[in-house]
């Protein structure tokens, strides 16, 4: 799952009145135009950027190139782009339009990069129209707008997601995305009143464009924009965005796909990705793949790459096409192998087996201590207390040095209170003690399930995120949970931290881990010890209420 989408999910939803949405759209236009070079009023410029894979793992993807732009006005400019298998020079001078292409296919990652460098939101009017009805969420110091539009076909319905986020304090774009456009924008510098991102990340696999030159245009316009009388291509190379329904009108018959058996997860669903079809009707690129079962994704991509289309024509000229495609799959379990349940099932079973708030339903007070590094780099002891009467009346509280963090519920009201420093540490304590994600905070297709062992105990591992062929988990992406055959949680991994749960004892039919060791890179970073779990005694009036600190849960924030 794309990290920007995850950030959106974690935010707090805000419902704006119509007047506020109109103001938001006006402000958003100003913010977008502030970072757009390709618009009237921009000082003529010369820009050059180098493009390379963002991550070492994609170094052999062939996504290396250069972009160079000489710009005098929206109707007077020259572009030159280079990649290993493609080179294009394009000149626009008023009504004259000239191209010279070496290579028959314009890579989409390169095309989008060249656009995003100077025009981060190409269809600005369309985006602003969607902003009037988009979901608006705030996360930290940024604002995120997200919207969906119908996609797919009548037989296979789907949606397209689009988003845009900006920093509240500066109004600068942070990231945006939609079909055929989008990027992440960093390292802003002023260019005659335009705030220009000198680092732009685009696509999947992601590439990074680094601006090496941005200066006033010094070349003579007459010579620079002179359209040669000969040597250009007779037909311009264009990329056109189509709906999936329009895309499928040109789909040629194909053999039924032989889907592989799946050991775990859903046996039927859809594989969805963005594709680029060349002028001959061949699929040349796929972008991020989403599937109800990640184990089918590779086979789904191969099936999509095998699709063939009649060439798409605009005014009789064949064009490249960008669209989203939805491919249904249906398969079976392999014979003679262990079948696993869904991630949701393991999470629900583990929640009820390992945590008293979700288990037998008996009211309790759980008290724990934790050891962590203090502000003076010495190990200090913190406290945690969880008072639970019912699913609608509970209070979780932690203290460390001068920091204090509370989450509480009293009926339909939720509360959150943060005092002093160490908020991140105290939130980590909360998560380690109850780490299993709420059902509405994850996508089933993100998770892979396999048999594993924890300290010699047979376990089922439920994992999302990148795992290397050698079994190394990506500290930024991977999230893992290990359950024994009775459903008890034995181990977790998230944010590069591994937690090992031991000294498991029973309380009201729930098996509570009394010791939890939190390790980073194999070294102990925090130790949590549950001191006692006892029935609830007398409580002060309004024990679960924190006036003035009401909290609104986004649908993907943790319940507890």
Q: DSSP of 400-457, one letter per residue?
A: ETTEEEEEEEETTEEEEEEESS-HHHHHHHHHHHS-SPPGGGS-GGGEEEEEEEETTE
Helix (H, G, I), strand (E, B) or coil at 312: strand
Structural domain span for residue 378:
343-534
Contact (CB, 8 A) for 505 and 511: yes
Tens digits of pLDDT across the chain (560 residues): 343 433 333 344 443 344 466 777 888 999 999 999 999 999 999 999 999 999 998 999 999 999 999 999 999 999 999 999 999 999 999 999 999 999 999 999 999 999 999 999 999 999 999 888 888 887 768 888 999 999 989 888 999 999 999 998 999 999 999 999 999 999 999 999 999 999 999 998 999 999 999 999 998 888 888 887 778 899 999 999 999 999 999 999 999 999 999 877 788 889 999 999 999 999 999 988 888 888 899 999 999 999 999 999 999 999 999 999 999 999 988 887 787 888 999 999 999 999 999 876 789 999 999 999 999 999 999 999 999 999 999 999 999 999 999 999 999 999 999 999 888 999 999 999 999 998 888 888 788 898 999 999 999 999 999 888 888 999 988 999 999 999 999 999 999 999 999 999 998 889 999 999 999 999 999 999 999 999 998 999 999 999 999 988 765 667 78
Do 295 and 359 share a structural domain? Answer: no
State the CB neighbour count (10 A cutoff) for residue 62. 13
Q: Does 262 reside within a domain? A: yes
Asked if 373 and 390 touch (Cβ cutoff 8 Å), the reply is: no
Which residues share a beta bridge with 383? 369, 399
Domain count, the chain: 3
Three-state secondary-structure class, residue 328 = strand
The length of the chain is 560
73, 194: one domain: yes
Instruction: Residue 316: count other Cβ atoms within 10 Å of its Cβ.
Output: 6
CB of 188 within 8 A of CB of 195?
yes
CA-nearest of 467, 464, 507, 468 to 488 is 507
Check whether the bond before 205 is cis (ω within 30° of 0).
yes
Look up residue 391 and give its two tokens.
Answer: 């699913």
Between the two ends of the chain, the Cα-to-Cα distance in Å is 24
Cα radius of gyration (the chain): 27
Query: C-alpha angle with apex 330: 328 to 331, nearest 5 degrees?
Result: 150
**To the nearest 10°, the Cα dihedral for 546, 552, 555, 560?**
-10
pLDDT at 554: 65
For 19, phi and psi rounded to 5 degrees?
Answer: -65, -40
pLDDT score recorded for residue 354: 95
Q: Are residues 316 and 455 in the same domain?
A: no
Beta strands in 153-243 (DSSP E): 157-167, 173-178, 181-191, 194-202, 207-216, 239-241
For residue 542, being part of any structural domain is answered with no
The answer to whether residue 394 sits within a structural domain is yes
Q: Is 59 exposed, middle or buried (0-12, 13-18, 19+ CB in 10 A)?
A: exposed
**Residue 245 counted as domain residue:** yes
On whether both 32 and 55 belong to a single domain, the answer is yes
Helix or strand or coil: residue 198?
Answer: strand
296 lies in the same domain as 378: no
Cβ proximity of 325 and 303 under 8 Å: no
Angle formed at CA 371 by CA 472 and CA 487, multiple of 5 degrees: 55
Q: Are residues 112 and 248 in the same domain?
A: no
- Which CATH number characterizes residue 300's domain? 3.30.1150
| Helical ranges in 73-169 per DSSP H | 108-116, 124-131
* 84: helix, strand or coil: coil
Give residue for tokens 């059902």: 439
Same domain, 312 and 381: no
Q: Does 525 lie in the same domain as 419?
A: yes
C-alpha span between 500 and 440 (Å, rounded): 25
Match 């109800």 to its residue by tokens: 292
Return the CATH number at 479. 2.50.20
Out of 285, 302, 330, pick the residue that ends a domain: 330
Q: Which of 59, 54, 50, 51 is nearest to 3 (CA)?
A: 54
The answer to whether residue 365 is domain-embedded is: yes
| Per-residue pLDDT at 8 | 36
With contact defined as beta carbons under 8 Å apart, do 149 and 162 qualify?
A: yes
Domain annotation covers residue 547: no
- The answer to whether residues 317 and 378 belong to one domain is no
Domain-located, residue 174 = yes
283 and 348 together in one domain: no
- Rounded to whole angstroms, what are the CA distances from 272 to 290, 327, 452, 547? 5, 6, 30, 46
pTM of the entire structure? Answer: 0.67
From 330, 359, 374, give the residue that closes a domain: 330
Examine the domain organization and report whether 213 and 316 are in the same domain. no
Q: Name the residue with tokens 């060249």.
A: 114
One domain for residues 454 and 384? yes
Task: Specify which residues 413 forms β-bridges with.
Answer: 410
Residue 548 lies in a domain: no
Q: What is the pLDDT of residue 288?
A: 85
493 bridge partner residues: 480, 498
The angle at the Cα of 137, spanning 131 to 143, to the nearest 5 degrees, equals: 75
């Amino acid at each position: 799952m794309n990290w920007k989408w995850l950030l959106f999910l974690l935010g707090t939803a805000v419902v704006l009145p119509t007047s506020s949405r109109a103001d938001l759209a006006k402000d958003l236009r100003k913010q977008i135009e502030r970072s757009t070079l390709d618009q009237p009023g921009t000082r003529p410029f010369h820009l050059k950027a180098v493009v390379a894979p963002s991550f070492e793992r994609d170094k052999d993807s062939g996504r290396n190139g250069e972009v160079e732009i000489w710009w005098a006005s929206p109707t007077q400019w020259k572009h030159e782009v280079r990649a290993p298998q493609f080179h294009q020079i394009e000149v626009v001078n008023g009504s004259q339009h000239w191209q010279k292409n070496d290579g028959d296919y314009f890579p989409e990652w390169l095309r989008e990069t060249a656009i995003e460098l100077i025009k981060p939101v190409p269809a600005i009017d369309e985006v602003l129209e969607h902003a009037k009805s988009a979901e608006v969420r705030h996360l930290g110091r940024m604002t995120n707008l997200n919207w969906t539009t119908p996609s797919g076909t009548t037989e296979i319905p789907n949606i397209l997601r689009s988003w845009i986020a900006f920093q509240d304090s500066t109004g600068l774009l942070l990231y945006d995305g939609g079909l055929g456009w989008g990027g992440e924008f960093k390292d802003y510098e002023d260019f005659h009143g335009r705030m220009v991102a000198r680092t732009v990340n685009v696509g999947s696999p992601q590439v990074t464009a680094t601006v090496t030159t941005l200066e006033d245009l010094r070349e003579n316009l007459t010579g620079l924009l002179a359209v040669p009388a000969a040597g250009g291509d007779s037909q311009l190379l264009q990329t056109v965005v189509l709906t999936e329904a329009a895309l499928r009108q040109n789909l040629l018959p194909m053999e039924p796909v032989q889907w592989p058996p799946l050991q775990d997860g859903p046996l039927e669903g859809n594989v969805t990705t963005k594709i680029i079809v060349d002028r001959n009707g061949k699929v040349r690129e796929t972008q991020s793949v989403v599937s109800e079962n990640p184990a089918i994704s590779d086979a789904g991509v191969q099936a999509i790459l095998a699709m063939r289309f009649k060439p798409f024509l605009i005014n009789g000229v064949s064009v490249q096409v960008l669209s989203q495609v939805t491919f249904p799959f249906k398969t079976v379990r392999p014979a003679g192998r262990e079948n696993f349940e869904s991630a949701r099932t393991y999470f629900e079973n583990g929640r009820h087996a390992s945590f008293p708030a979700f288990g037998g339903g008996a009211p309790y007070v759980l008290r724990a201590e934790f050891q962590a590094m203090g502000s003076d780099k010495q190990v200090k002891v913190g406290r945690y207390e969880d008072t639970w009467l019912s699913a609608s009346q509970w209070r979780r509280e932690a203290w460390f040095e001068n920091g204090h963090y509370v989450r509480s519920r009293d009926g339909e009201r939720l509360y959150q209170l943060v005092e002093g420093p160490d908020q991140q540490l105290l939130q980590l304590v909360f998560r380690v003690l109850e780490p299993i994600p709420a059902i509405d905070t994850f996508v089933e297709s993100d998770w892979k399930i396999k048999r594993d062992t924890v300290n010699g105990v047979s376990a089922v591992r439920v994992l999302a995120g990148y795992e290397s062929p050698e079994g190394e988990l990506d500290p930024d992406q991977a999230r893992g949970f290990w359950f024994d055959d009775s459903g008890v949680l034995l181990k977790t991994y998230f944010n590069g931290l591994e937690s090992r749960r031991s000294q498991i004892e029973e309380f009201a039919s729930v098996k509570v881990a009394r010791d939890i060791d939190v390790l980073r890179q194999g070294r102990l970073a925090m130790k949590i010890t549950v001191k006692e779990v006892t029935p609830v005694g007398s409580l002060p009036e309004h024990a679960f209420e924190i006036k003035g600190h009401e909290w609104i849960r986004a649908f993907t924030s943790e319940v507890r």
